[in-house]
Amino acid sequence: MPVETPTIDGDSARMVACIPRLRRYARALVGEHAAADDLVQDTFERAWARRRTWRRDGDMRAWLFGIMHNLYVDQRRRKGRAASTLSDAGVDLPVRPTQTDNLEIRDLGAALALLSAEQREIMLLVALEDMPYDQIAVTLGIPTGTVMSRLSRGREKLRLLMSEGLRPAALKEAK
Amino acid sequence: MIPSAITDEDLHAYVDNRLTQARRADVEAYLAENPDTAARLHAYSEQKAAIQAFHRDVLDEPIPHHLFLAATGLSPAPGPLSRPVWLSSGMPRRIAACFVIAGAGALGGWIGRGALRPAPSGAAGAAMGVSGLPRRAAMAHRVYSADARRPVEIGADQKRLLVHWLSKRLGTDVHPPTLAAQGYTLIGGRLLPGPHGPVAQFMYQDADGQRLTLYMSGEDGADEHAGMRFSREGQVNVYYWDYDKFGYAVSASIGKVPLKRLADAACEQLESG
């Protein structure tokens, strides 16, 4: 195919190409299927509305993830106001351990849900998108040092969650 | 030279394969003497692989219609498009669009060109105009004809299934035309979202691997009198026409003249079928 010129067609095609990755990330982030797709849809709608904020030489994927991040933060803020007594850790996730005891955590989804949303975002961008740390910093609008400290704490917390309990099947199979 | 102290950041960058070769060697030397840290990093690598495996399936899921529309900036605007009353009654139902071309085509093509070019900035919705058929067809052509792995959802080897499935989804009998005389073979088709419901896309290929798509979309305000029109959408040339509530578009990255021959052949078969 010839080189694409920066037209609406080209942008559309580039955005369509990003759908599967945005869906995967959203699913991992919010847990629930329909809510995740809603977040993806909102992301595209906002992206089209603010298309001029995208630098033509920039990475469209990172720009879209940044938009999704902002929408997700807004969402959580709204939910936080509605249910201010809930803790930070995974309040909007349906995948949660059914027992109160951490030893009962059996799968990775449940373990991820126990990380803070901030830690989870970074863990997912690193693992799913293989995004460089400085690009994550730009995407999330935080310093690279903060990316590193959240990654460090998130990884350690997940390690402890996974090793304390029964060795989770998901981790074993994935090797 | 003694390497500088290994930091926590180095350790994570090691897991994520982001170190220079020299620094990587430093970390490996450090890990050889610190088995606890090595075990911890091993666990981090495992959890990273597990996260990747845990969500891999999502990438292969079919894309829902509403997300495709949102990504292309084509989400239906609130409120239905107003449709001229005269289109729905009084006029003869079927006019052979392929044969209207002679006089009106040149003019239609010329006007269509100006009217349907994408707007130079923002406002994707506005750029759609009344139908945006050639643009949508060209976009779908670009996205799927470039897909080496899965250009079609159902292959031509299952033609009966393909025809049945698409007919059912579009709510009308669908018969992909034969373009063998023009050197193109049907390789399959897929269903796509459109602003007014599902759209069928048939994919053809010639002996050199050049791909051509036929896009068939239910259109609000289909205008059979407009005849066959031409639109250039970036690198893709499109001939399109309306017939019996459907808009059709033939798209390929080939010259206008050979494309016109193919569009004529498709149009005649579709209207006689």
Whether B226 maps to a domain, the answer reads yes
Contact B67 A40 (CB under 8 A): yes
The distance of A81 to chain B (nearest Cα, Å) reads 29
Rounded CA separation A26/A115 (Å): 16
Pair (B122, B182) in one structural domain? yes
Task: Locate A170 and state its tokens.
Answer: 């998901």
CATH classification of the domain holding A42: 1.20.140.160
Instruction: List the single best residue of A4, A5, A7, A12 to mutate versus B (max B Cβ within 10 A).
Output: A12
pLDDT over threshold 90, residue B144:
no
The distance of B116 to chain A (nearest Cα, Å) reads 12
B75 pLDDT band, cuts 50/70/90, is low
Question: Sign of the CA dihedral A60, A134, A25, B54?
Answer: positive
Domain region containing B215: 95-272
Name the 3-class secondary structure at A4: coil
Pair (B138, B239) in one structural domain? yes
Strands of the B211-218 sheet, one edge to the other = B154-155, B185-194, B197-205, B211-218, B246-252, B236-243, B229-233
Contact A20 B63 (CB under 8 A): yes
The distance of B24 to chain A (nearest Cα, Å) reads 17
Whether B212 maps to a domain, the answer reads yes
B5: burial class by Cβ within 10 Å (0-12, 13-18, 19+)?
exposed
The distance of A174 to chain B (nearest Cα, Å) reads 5
Rounded CA separation B185/B164 (Å): 19
Question: Sign of the CA dihedral B136, B74, B100, B177?
Answer: positive
- The answer to whether B64 contacts chain A (CB < 8 Å) is yes
Instruction: List the single best residue of A11, A37, A48, A107 to mutate versus B (max B Cβ within 10 A).
Output: A48
Domain region containing A144: 8-174
Q: What is the pLDDT of residue A100?
A: 37
Taking chain A (175 residues) in runs of 10, the rounded mean pLDDT of each run is 46 84 92 90 90 78 93 86 44 39 54 88 94 93 95 94 58 41
Name the 3-class secondary structure at B262: helix
Pair (B51, B99) in one structural domain? no
Q: What's the domain count of chain B? A: 2
Indicate the pTM of the whole model.
0.53
Give contacts of A7 with chain B, Cβ < 8 Å: 118, 234
Q: How far is CA B155 from CA A166, B56, B269, in A?
A: 46, 25, 21
Contact B70 A41 (CB under 8 A): yes
Rounded CA separation B148/B141 (Å): 13
Rounded CA separation A10/B142 (Å): 9
Q: What is the pLDDT of residue A135?
A: 93
Q: What is the pLDDT of residue A168?
A: 43
Q: Return the ∠ at Cα B17 (arms to B16 and B21), rounded to 5°.
A: 150
Is A125 or B116 the better-scoring residue by pLDDT? Answer: A125
Q: Please choose, from the candidates A13, A18, A11, A74, the residue with its C-alpha nearest in 3D space to the C-alpha of residue A41.
A: A18
Which tens digits make up the pLDDT trace of B19-56? Answer: 999 999 999 999 999 999 999 999 999 999 988 888 88
Q: Return the ∠ at Cα A47 (arms to A43 and A52), rounded to 5°.
A: 165
Partner residue facing A27 (CB), from B55, B63, B118: B55
Contact A41 B139 (CB under 8 A): no
Whether A42 maps to a domain, the answer reads yes
Contact B12 A155 (CB under 8 A): yes
On whether the CB atoms of residues B58 and A23 are closer than 8 A, the answer is yes
Q: What's the domain count of chain A? A: 1
Name the 3-class secondary structure at B232: strand
Q: What is the pLDDT of residue B100?
A: 52
B63 pLDDT band, cuts 50/70/90, is confident
Mean pLDDT of B107-111: 35
Q: Please choose, from the candidates B131, B121, B128, B120, the residue with its C-alpha nearest in 3D space to the C-alpha of residue B226.
A: B131
On whether the CB atoms of residues A144 and A40 are closer than 8 A, the answer is no
